[in-house]
Amino acid sequence: MRTLQLPLKDNPYTINIGSGLITDDALYRPHCRGDKLLIVSNDVVAPLYLEKLKTTLVEKEIHQIIIEDGEINKSKTSFFKILDYLVENQFRRNDTLIALGGGVIGDLAGFAAASYQRGMKLIQVPTSLLSQVDSSVGGKTAINHPAGKNLIGAFYQPAVVIIDTDSLDTLPQREFFSGLGEIVKYALLGESRIAQLLQSEQQKIFARDKEVLQEIIYLSCQMKADFVAQDEKEEGQRALLNLGHTFAHALETMTGYSYYLHGEAVAIGILMALDLSQKKGLINSDLVTQYQNLLTALNLPTSVVPELSADQFLSVMKKDKKNQTSAYRLVLVKGSNTDCYCILHEEDDQSLIRSVLQHFGITG
């Protein structure tokens, strides 16, 4: 097992990464101080891991809620289903909620934990690659709104993160590749070891080699933990972790949270951010081509399939929660192929963003 510390002033916690951790009771015990546990999972993950987890926590009064799989269910309906259950079963603030699943479950259950009695104990047990490298760490919790992704939520840190790499064995192929889309972000943010592994160890990655994946997960969590420790509430540099996400969130919203997986949308969003960076003269076309080829090699989409309206797309982007002024707040890439880095940028030239959308077939 490998561990990382996220040294927040008010709520430091440990990120545990390894094989067989879902059933390691020693990782849960220090954080389950109340009498009751509520495990929130979905109808894909629960049949695989719920009973194993319940057997690990036998000394507690265990409850469960199963949410239907899919981003579309990260909704106010699911949110209130969890809250109603907590109220009806008289959970207390010192009881524990365990999020067992991917990013949807982690965000949804995390927001419920943040909201119930102004905050109950939360344990994140991410089971998808995307949630293991990103959403389970850092305390972002939320639900979606028809007008935009993650518009309703809170920063709420878990007591511990337990990443069992064995859960990747049962992850559907499309979900696995979606996780790689989020990992590419860390390469562009400057994690050279991840960039090297994505280029040179693709066959081992596709074969889900435990050693290589554990290294990638560790490096991703380490980079994210560093950003979060410096800027917990995303008031500055943590926003760089949103590379490609403003475009991606609009894409997910425009397609009803049901066409693209999050990592697939992020892959397209990264290319849109690179295209805009090139149009502004911050990078050359070689870097765009390099990452387009990498994303293609990782079986991720690099173009927009549904027919979408540019006017509506821009309108959704305008509602993005990261915007601080009337301009679009974006993360762009600057530098050369061998030495690139990310910057925060306020873009007020709507016609320039429209030209990016048109390049990806989004017109009208």
Active centre residues (catalytic): 118, 140, 182, 224, 234, 238, 242, 245, 249, 262
Distance of alpha carbon 302 from the chain centroid: 19
Burial of 55: CB neighbours in 10 Å, binned 0-12, 13-18, 19+: exposed
Element (H, E) at 102: none
Contact predicate 131/167, CB 8 Å: no
Burial class (CB in 10 A: 0-12, 13-18, 19+), 10: exposed
Radius of gyration for the alpha carbons in the chain, expressed in angstroms and rounded: 20
- Residue type for 335, please? G
CA nearest to 184, candidates 274, 249, 316, 252:
274
Edge-to-edge strand ranges of the sheet holding 121-126: 2-6, 13-18, 160-164, 121-126, 96-101, 36-42, 61-67
Nearest to 206 by CA among 294, 299, 274: 299
Is there a contact between 176 and 168 (Cβ–Cβ < 8 Å)? yes
Give the pairing of strands 140-145 and 148-155.
Answer: antiparallel
Q: Which helix (H) or strand (E) holds 329?
A: strand 328-335
Q: Which residues contact 228 (CB under 8 A, 6 or more apart)?
A: 6, 8, 137, 138, 139, 238
| Cβ atoms of 331 and 346 closer than 8 Å | no
DSSP 8-state symbol, 131: I
Contact 77, 102 (CB under 8 A): no
